[in-house]
Every structure is written in structure tokens, then in C-alpha cells.
């Protein structure tokens, strides 16, 4: 089943309008509404303790039932009522300066370790379960809303604060450390660091660190603190999941995360790879317009993507896939948004609604919910919707109806098709991301991951992100790329070595495996034995600009520019040089290891942001030389921004989704190297795909639009 619908915050609209609004949703083909998750939640339904008014929720369920729609209901955990703060003044989260979070700002202001919060959240959810837990129109439960600490910075500050230093959270941190280390000596050894070299006699003496390693705090203590925060939110989601399952075992639970959702520096306190394990389904909130650069910034007549929508959709798909969870998109951008009085930051169009929706379906998403159905007069932040202030449908509502019609007509095909297996995996390590950010390398870690993805995306490759825990199952992929990942454990290094030994290829960069799991520098780099895999050991490292590299792949030669680091190495006798620096030192090497091979870059090709033809040609030639053909190949040099994804049915037929993320129409020839295609049936009335006798596909697609076609294969 594929669901499509909207968030609808009842108490933000007059009750006389509810019937009309839900009728319009149903007429547009929507089959689910989301209520009670944040706006119009616990804080509004129970304004006095023990005296809830759930009449509006009763109406929502009655109207949903009348219009054959399902309800996704929030547990209220993200938005506690004001009286909870009044009764328990110490319940507020605190930043590292000991300042309590101000009232009336973002959700997530309550300490999730405070006994009163946990007790009252259990009680409130219990009331909802007793009333709606077995309601025939209940689709499932949303637990919390974009769990994590507040991500909005105070005015005048560049970054949000660091949370939570409430005494209850610090006590929970100490208990977490006891389980991790068992003895205080083990903790003291792990936290060893020359500038401070603290030694604790008891876990009760340990405090949560209030400075980052860039401010000369102990790196491992900071890493432990932020990873504890991740486990802490996991515990809250799991707690509510178990309460729901105890009452209604068959009911589906979901928690949602924002955008690509990975925590860029640890401030959110969540781990995208482990949070999905705590419930049945994982949801990702998708706001591509927030990634747009304005026309003024680009000098182009229309806004341009700053990073491809595909990037965070594929990240979401990878997280769901690795955790064996169904992927939902419970908040999809529905209208012009952002910018407050100066807004909107981006004017979302009907073509965006169509394109982004199809791109979500191309990742196997089983739910698309727009945030929200109607404009909200009470929000000064510009937040567009499918219907205007008066409840009148816009062209965006009509666009959502087109998607709903596709789902209604081809729901069985969409529901059963699965994205094809990727050939290439990119390693993403949350621990390494937090470490990198804490020592001032946040830009390196994030840019490297995104740059490598964009290169492969432009060349037509499907890419999976994987976490270190997934390394043991790497045989699913023919190539693993390890972008800027300085922290790598011994176990992860060993798993990579075994993966290569079995016959696959790994690509590494200069700072790969710089430090171990305790943030201590590996004596031989790359550490964990990876120097034996790549056939090289670092002997020196220089920071330079404009690093020139001459490289050869097959009979082609390339002039490339590296970034930031120039690494000097001792090479094993059987290591082959593919590229050299200007001084003749090896810049790109290949080394046979077991049945596989390792390619090592001694400068950062993962940080190169210049997507010129020469750079793309180099990566294309390298991947082809490795025997990796694109999943969908454009048969000409191009500057198209095409997102191309394949889904496969058990009967051998394929669904091909193509989205044009550019501002110009596209006419192109496509080929699927791994499949013998003999027919194409267009399932969408915008754009066109035709198949010739040789299996070559002719594509015509307007600017900013997308299409989907059913392909028959021999």
C-alpha cells in the first residue's frame, strides 16, 4: 500500500471548515491525514493536567472515517504542555553554559530524562491509546517529531547551542558510561589526552564535557557525550514504541527525521543509523526548497539546487534499507516556505510537487504526506501549503492529485517494486562525523560525503550509504568509497580488509583511518591494518592549495587538481602508481590485496567541488575500468541534472523514474547496460520515453518535471 495525504492541524482552522477541507483532500485522492504530532498536540489537547479535551481528535477520526481516509496520530512527546514546566521548573533542557532553554520557542524543550516528563508522557499516551488505539481508521503512530535537541541558533549566533546539561541527563550519562566501560580505569585510559590528562576515582566524579576538542577538551569524552545523547533519544523512542505495542501489537509506529537527517556535528544528539531500530517505520521530512540557491546567488534566471534532492532521498533510502524498515516521507514540502517577512525563501511550484513526489516513489517510499494541507495564518514564518488561507486549492493541490491518481492506478506496481541493488557504497560513520566536527573539520566531512555522491549521481550510478555496522555485509557492493572518515575502528578496518580480500575494490583518501575508536592517532596510517590493504604507509603530510596531479586510466591521461592535503608515502613493492604530483611523488595508487584491490588518493579528490567535464571524465573512466557501468547511461556528453532511478518487479519488469532537476528541457538517449529492454509504457502524462529495436530509450522531458515508465525486458 502506498499512502498519500497531508498534515492537518485542526485547531489552526475553524471547526466549520474541517468537513470541507477533508472532503477536498479525499477528492484529490488523498487517503491519510496526520494529526496531533506537533501543532495542535498534547500542549493544546490537555491544557490542564488530567483534564484533556480530545473532542477535536474525535472529529478528525469521524471525518477520516466518513471520507475513507486513515489517521497517522502523534504521541505528543515532542510538545509537552506549559503546566509541566510550571510544576517542575527544573524540567527544561540546559545548554553547556547552564542556561535553560527559553519558553515559547521550539519543541523539544523538556529534559527527556526528567522523571516527571517520562511519567506524564506515558500517562498522556495511555489516554490516547485507550481512546484510539484500536480505532479502525487509525493507520499508526508518529513518535515525537524530528527528535533531537533544538536546531535553531539564538539570534546573532552562527550555531545552535549544545544540549542537554540538565542534572537528570548528566546522571543518565554517568550510568551510560558505567555500562560502556565497567571500570573507572577503563574510562581513564580511553579518555587519556596530554593537555588535560584527568583521572577520575569514581563515575560519580565524571561530568558531561562542556567544551569541544577544538576548545581543548578530551576528544573521546566529547565523542562519548554526543553518542550517549544519541542512545538517549533512542531510549525515548523505544519507550513509546513498547508502550504502543503492549496496548495494540498490530499497530504501526514511526518516528520522523528532518531532511537527510544525519547529525552534521552532533548538536542534534541523534544517530540516523540506530534511531530507526526503535520503531516499525522510519520517516524522513523532505524540504528540497531549503536547499535552493536564489537567482541572485547563481546569476541564473531561476533558483538552482545547492545540493541535489536525490542526495538526501538516497540517504533516507539507505538508512531505511540498512535497518530493514519501510520508508515514509511524512513531511513533504507543499508550498512556498522560509524567510519570515522577507520570504518566501523558495516559491514551490506544481512541477516541484510532481517531481519531488516521483523522486520519493523512485526510492521506494510508501508514504508521501504534505506539510501541510492549508496555509496557517498563525505562523509568521512563511509556510506554504496545497490550499490557500481560505481553503481554496492551488495548482499544487492539483499536482498532488496527479500523484494520487498514479498511485491509485498503479499502486500495486509501485508497492511491489523495489529499488535495484546499488553497485557502489559510500561509508558514513556518525562517530567520525562527530569527531571531525569537534576538531574543526566539519566542512571536510560533510563536503566529502556530498561531493562523492554528486559525482556518482551525475554519472548515472545508484549509490547506497552504509554505516560501519554494515561493513560485514559488504559483499552486496562491488565498490566501497571511504570519503573523509578519519575515525575508523579496528573492527571496521578489518571488515574492509576482508571485503577487499574477497574480490571487491575500496577507494580511500589521505585522512582515512587517522585515529582509532578512542580518538588516539594510529601509529601507522591508515590504521587498523589498512596500510597493508592499500600497499602504502604515510610518512609525511602537507597542507597545500592548487595541488596538481597527472593521472592515467587505461590509455587516457588526465590533469587534475587535488585539495588541501598532499600525502607522502612509502609504497609496497607491488603497489602501482596511477597518478603523480608535480614533484613526481605518487598521488594515486592501486594495490592488489587478496582477490581484490585498493585505490588510494594521496590528496582529497573527495573534496573537489569543481564538477568540470575533465573531473567527471576521470571518474567515469576509472569506474568503467573497474568494470562498473552506470545503471542508466546517457549516450552523449551532457550537463543535464537528471535523477534516474530503476525499480524492479519479481516478474522482471522495471520502473524507470527520470526527474529533470535543471531549468532547461531535455532530449536525450538513454541505455540500461545491465538490461535488455524491448518496450516502454509511459505511466505519466508529462514527458515521453520511447524504446527502439536496439533497446535504446529516447527521452523528452520538460524543465523541472519528472516521468515514470514501465519497461519490459527479455
Mean pLDDT per 10-residue interval, the chain, length 714 residues? 93 91 98 90 91 94 98 95 95 96 90 98 97 97 96 89 97 98 96 84 96 93 97 98 97 89 88 96 92 54 61 94 96 89 88 97 96 81 88 97 96 90 95 93 88 92 93 88 95 95 96 94 94 96 90 93 93 97 96 98 86 84 96 84 93 94 93 94 96 95 96 91
CA trace torsion 178, 179, 183, 187 (10° rounding):
-70
The per-residue pLDDT for 301 is 46
Residue 706 neighbours by CB distance under 10 Å = 25
Q: Which residues pair with 463 in a beta bridge?
A: 424
Predicted local confidence at residue 608, as pLDDT: 82
Question: Cβ neighbours of residue 227 under 8 Å, at least 6 residues apart?
Answer: 271, 430, 431, 434
Report whether 73 contacts 142 (CB < 8 A). Answer: yes
Query: Bridge partners of 647?
Result: 419, 655
Q: Is 572 helix (H, G, I), strand (E, B) or coil?
A: coil
Q: Quick one: cell of 532?
A: 597493508
Angle at 695 between CA 712 and CA 656, to 5 degrees: 50
Closest CA to 581 of 607, 609, 601: 601
Closest Cα partner for 151 from 207, 102, 87, 107? Answer: 107
- 482 grid coordinates: 571511504
- Cell numbers of 405, please? 491518481
What cell numbers appear for 65 in the block?
A: 472515517
Q: Say what the pLDDT of residue 379 is.
A: 65
CA distance 175 to 590: 46
Is the Cβ–Cβ distance between 525 and 551 less than 8 Å?
A: no
At residue 307, the pLDDT reads 64
> Nearest to residue 473, comparing CAs of 528, 427, 419?
427
Q: What is the maximum span of the chain, computed from C-alpha positions, in angstroms? A: 80
Question: In a 3-state reduction of DSSP, which class is residue 26?
Answer: helix
CA 138 to CA 161: how far, in whole Å? 37
Q: How far apart are CA 360 and CA 358, in angstroms?
A: 5
pLDDT for residue 28: 98
Of 95, 117, 98, 92, residue with least CA distance to 42: 117
Residue in this structure with the C-alpha cell 519558553, named with its chain if needed: 103
Residue matched to cell numbers 499516551: 125
Q: Specify the pLDDT at position 261.
A: 63
The DSSP symbol for 606 reads: T
* Angstrom distance (rounded) from CA 248 to CA 634: 50
Instruction: Report CA-CA distances (Å) from 697 to 2, 254, 461, 658, 679.
Output: 28, 39, 17, 12, 9
The CA distance from 353 to 348, in Å, is 8
Whole-angstrom distance, CA of residue 284 vs CA of residue 262: 11
Between the CA of residue 19 and those of 23, 25, 389, 434, 577, what are the distances in Å? 6, 10, 16, 48, 70
CA 329 centroid distance within chain = 11
- Please state, in angstroms and rounded to a whole number, the distance separating the CA atoms of residues 451 and 608: 7
Q: Is residue 317 within a helix (H) or strand (E), and if so which, with residue range?
A: helix 309-322
Can you tell me whether residue 337 is helix, strand or coil? strand
Helix/strand/coil (H/E/C) assignment for every residue in 350-363: HHHHHHHHHHHHHC
DSSP-derived secondary structure letter, 242: H
Here the cell at position 604 is 582529497
Residue with cell 587538481: 561
DSSP state, 50?
T
Q: How far apart are CA 151 and CA 222, in angstroms?
A: 19
Closest by alpha carbon to 77, among 32, 12, 123, 10? 123
* Backbone angles phi and psi of 361, in degrees to 5: -60, -30
Amino acid at each position: 500500500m502506498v499512502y498519500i495525504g497531508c498534515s492537518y492541524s485542526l485547531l489552526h482552522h475553524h471547526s466549520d471548515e474541517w468537513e470541507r477541507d477533508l472532503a477536498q483532500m479525499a477528492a484529490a485522492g488523498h487517503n491519510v491525514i496526520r494529526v496531533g504530532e506537533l501543532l495542535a498536540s498534547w500542549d493544546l489537547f490537555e491544557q490542564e493536567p488530567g483534564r484533556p479535551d480530545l473532542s477535536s481528535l474525535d472529529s478528525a477520526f469521524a471525518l477520516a472515517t466518513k471520507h475513507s481516509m486513515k489517521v497517522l496520530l502523534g504521541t505528543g512527546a515532542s510538545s509537552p504542555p506549559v503546566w509541566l514546566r510550571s510544576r517542575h521548573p527544573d524540567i527544561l533542557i540546559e545548554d553547556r553554559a547552564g542556561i535553560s532553554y527559553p519558553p515559547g520557542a521550539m519543541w523539544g524543550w523538556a529534559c527527556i530524562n526528567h522523571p516527571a516528563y517520562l511519567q506524564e508522557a506515558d500517562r498522556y499516551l495511555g489516554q490516547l491509546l485507550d481512546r484510539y488505539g484500536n480505532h479502525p481508521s487509525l493507520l499508526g503512530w508518529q513518535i515525537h517529531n524530528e527528535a533531537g535537541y533544538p536546531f535553531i541558533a539564538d539570534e546573532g549566533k552562527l550555531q545552535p547551542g549544545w544540549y542537554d546539561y540538565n542534572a537528570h541527563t548528566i546522571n543518565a550519562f554517568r550510568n551510560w558510561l558505567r555500562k560502556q566501560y565497567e571500570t573507572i580505569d577503563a574510562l581513564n585510559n580511553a579518555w587519556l589526552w596530554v593537555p588535560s590528562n584527568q583521572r577520575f576515582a569514581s563515575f560519580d566524579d565524571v561530568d558531561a564535557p562542556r567544551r569541544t576538542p577544538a576548545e581543548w577538551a578530551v576528544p573521546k569524552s566529547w565523542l562519548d557525550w554526543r553518542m550517549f545523547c544519541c542512545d538517549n533519544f533512542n531510549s525515548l523512542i523505544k519507550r513509546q514504541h513498547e508502550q504502543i505495542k503492549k496496548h495494540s501489537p498490530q499497530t504501526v509506529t514511526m518516528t520522523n527525521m528532518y531532511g537527510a537527517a544525519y547529525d552534521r556535528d552532533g548538536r542534534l544528539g541523534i544517530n540516523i543509523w540506530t534511531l530507526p531500530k526503535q520503531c516499525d517505520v522510519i520517516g524522513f521530512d523532505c524540504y528540497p526548497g531549503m536547499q535552493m540557491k536564489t537567482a541572485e546567488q547563481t546569476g541564473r534566471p531561476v533558483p538552482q539546487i545547492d545540493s541535489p534532492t536525490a542526495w538526501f532521498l538516497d540517504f533516507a533510502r539507505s538508512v531505511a534499507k540498512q535497518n530493514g524498515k519501510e520508508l515514509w516521507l511524512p513531511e513533504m514540502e507543499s508550498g512556498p516556505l522560509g524567510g519570515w517577512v522577507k520570504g518566501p525563501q523558495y516559491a514551490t511550484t506544481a512541477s516541484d510537487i510532481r517531481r519531488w513526489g516521483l523522486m520519493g516513489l523512485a526510492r521506494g517510499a510508501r508514504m508521501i504526506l504534505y506539510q501541510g494541507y492549508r496555509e496557517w495564518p498563525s505562523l509568521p514564518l512563511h509556510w506554504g501549503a496545497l490550499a490557500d488561507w481560505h481553503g481554496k486549492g492551488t495548482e499544487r493541490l492539483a499536482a498532488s492529485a496527479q500523484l494520487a491518481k498514479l498511485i491509485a492506478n498503479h499502486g500495486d506496481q509501485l508497492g511491489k517494486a523495489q529499488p535495484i541493488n546499488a553497485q557502489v557504497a559510500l561509508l558514513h560513520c556518525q562517530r567520525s562525523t562527530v569527531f571531525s566536527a569537534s576538531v574543526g573539520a566539519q566542512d571536510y566531512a560533510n563536503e566529502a560525503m556530498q561531493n562523492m555522491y554528486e559525482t556518482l549521481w551525475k554519472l548515472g550510478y545508484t549509490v547506497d550509504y552504509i554505516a560501519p555496522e554494515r561493513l560485514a555485509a559488504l559483499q552486496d557492493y562491488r565498490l566501497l568509497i571511504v570519503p573523509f572518515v578519519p575515525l575508523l575502528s579496528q573492527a571496521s578496518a578489518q571488515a574492509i580488509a576482508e571485503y577487499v580480500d574477497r574480490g571487491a575494490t575500496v577507494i580511500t583518501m589521505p585522512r582515512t583511518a587517522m585515529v582509532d575508536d578512542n580518538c588516539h592517532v594510529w601509529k601507522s596510517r591508515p590504521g587498523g591494518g589498512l596500510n597493508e590493504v592499500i600497499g602504502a604507509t604515510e610518512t609525511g603530510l602537507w597542507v597545500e592549495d592548487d595541488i596538481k596531479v597527472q593521472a592515467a586510466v587505461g590509455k587516457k591521461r588526465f590533469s587534475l587538481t587535488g585539495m588541501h592535503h598532499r600525502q607522502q608515502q612509502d609504497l609496497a613493492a607491488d603497489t602501482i602508481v596511477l597518478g603523480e604530483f608535480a614533484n613526481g611523488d605518487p598521488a594515486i595508487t592501486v594495490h592488489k590485496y587478496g582477490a581484490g584491490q585498493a585505490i588510494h588518493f594521496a590528496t582529497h579528490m573527495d573534496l573537489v567541488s569543481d564538477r568540470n567535464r575533465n573531473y567527471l571524465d576521470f571518474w567515469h573512466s576509472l569506474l568503467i575500468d573497474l568494470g562498473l557501468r552506470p545503471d542508466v547511461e546517457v549516450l552523449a556528453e551532457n550537463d543535464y541534472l537528471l535523477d534516474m532511478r530503476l525499480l524492479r518487479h519479481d516478474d522482471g519488469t522495471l520502473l524507470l523514474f527520470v526527474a529533470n532537476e535543471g531549468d532547461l528541457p531535455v532530449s536525450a538517449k538513454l541505455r540500461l547496460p545491465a538490461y535488455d529492454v524491448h518496450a516502454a509504457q509511459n505511466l505519466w502524462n508529462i514527458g515521453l520515453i520511447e524504446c527502439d529495436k536496439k533497446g535504446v530509450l529516447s527521452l523528452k522531458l520538460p524543465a523541472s518535471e519528472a516521468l515514470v515508465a514501465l519497461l519490459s525486458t527479455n
